[in-house]
Amino acid sequence: MASSVIRVAQYLNQFFGQVGGEERADLRPELRPGPVGPGLLLQELLGARGQVVGTVVCGDNYFNDCQEEARTRVQELLAGLAPDLVLAGPAFNAGRYGLACGEVCRLATAALGIPAVTGMAPEQAAVEVYRRDAYIVPTGPNAREMRQALTRMVALGLKLQAGEPLRGAAEEGYLPRGVRRNVLHPQRAAVRAVSLLLDKLAGRQPRSELTLPRFEAVPRAAPVTDLSKATIALCTTGGLVPQGNPDRIESHLATRYGCYPIPSQGLTPEAFEANHGGYYRGHVNADPNRLVPVDVMRALEAEGVIGKLHTSFYSTAGTGTYPEVAAQMAREITSALRNEGAEAAILTAT
């Protein structure tokens, strides 16, 4: 093979690595020769410019629960492949997968000196964690956009591997990394500032040179005056539902929620299960109180710390849910809790 053909290594989780689903999320890092799963599409997109020489596959749980061991082994496997470029994922909006992909890119660049690119939905948590350590191209929420995501990753990866200078994030198609560099602009600052002001006055959308974060102002609720007389409700975005998920709440991009009476015997694994696409559910399925702490709340009720536990809990799955959908569900749940006499709620996540 000609020396101009670059060597590419890909990192995949157990699902995209075609090993299995959540039941194989504890898979230790393994090396597969050549392309696997979406790597076949990656090889197609690379064409004659590169060859996928190997694929590192690791379970999402193992990478995040055994981080030191996982990082060490993945670094060893990548070093053994001696790639010119590492592509991780894309992870789309999968939280654990995104954290693993971000760390793999950090390892490749910081420890091995190999350029690396991953792809993630802009709203997922791993973007904020790794945006300074990795080049991340924006993707949609799921694998329906695999071709588009890999196309962007390949284009950026080849440019990084060739050592070509990069323009800004918007021009190159990656998520902003929070890195500021001084550049020589043909117009002085006063002229650019007036231009922005004129755009704003004319109703045009001005494009600032400095993007500032926007945070929604959420008013703080008034404190509960006397917990010992208050009715406290439990809510969760961890997806706890009765066995069989009777309300068909989506495990990803949820659009609905459920309200479930708390049985007198409490939450048992025979009656409840976790329905959520973003974390390992085995611990919750073994004891639902780990997610919705009915046992602890009833103990506090017996001790007189709270007045009483609300008779039902509300549940949805928080993975990838669009903010406007989450806000609407919150309004509906809050209204229902007020009507049901609850004075406060404890929201548990994963």
Domain ranges for the chain, please list them. 6-172, 227-348
Of the ranges 25-39, 53-67, 197-211, 315-329, which one carries the lowest mean pLDDT score? 197-211
Pairing of strands 85-92, 116-120: parallel
* pLDDT greater at residue 306 or residue 126: 306
Q: Quick one: what percent of the chain has pLDDT higher than 90?
A: 67
Q: How far, in whole angstroms, is CA 210 from its chain's centroid?
A: 25
Q: Considering only residues 215 and 98, tell me which one the structure prediction assigns the higher pLDDT.
A: 98
Residue 2 has pLDDT above 50, yes or no: no
Would you place residue 161 in the very low, low, confident or very high pLDDT band (cuts 50, 70, 90)? very high
* Lowest-pLDDT choice from 79-88, 211-220, 339-348: 211-220
Q: Which fold does the domain 6-172 belong to in CATH?
A: Rossmann fold (3.40.50)
pLDDT tens-digit profile of 228-260?
Answer: 999 999 999 999 999 999 999 988 778 899 999
For 19-55, how does the pLDDT look when each residue is reduced to its tens digit (9 = 90+)?
Answer: 998 889 899 999 999 999 999 999 999 999 999 999 9
Instruction: Band the pLDDT of 83: cuts 50, 70, 90.
Output: very high
More confident residue, 180 or 152: 152
In this predicted model, what pLDDT tens digit does every residue of 283-318 receive, in sequence order? 999 999 999 999 999 999 999 999 999 999 999 998
pLDDT of residue 1: 38
Cis-peptide into 269, omega within 30 deg: no
Give the C-alpha distances (Å, rounded to integers) separating 314 from 236, 252, 300, 336: 6, 17, 20, 10
Mean pLDDT computed over every residue of the chain: 91
Please tell me whether the overall predicted TM-score, pTM, comes out greater than 0.75 for this model.
Answer: no
The 3 state secondary structure assigned to 190-202 is HHHHHHHHHHHHC
Q: Rounded CA gap, 315 and 219, in Å? A: 23
Tokens found for residue 210:
């400095």
Torsional class of 195: left (φ above 0), alpha (ψ -120 to 50), beta (otherwise): alpha
> pLDDT tens digits for 175-201?
988 777 677 788 888 998 898 899 889
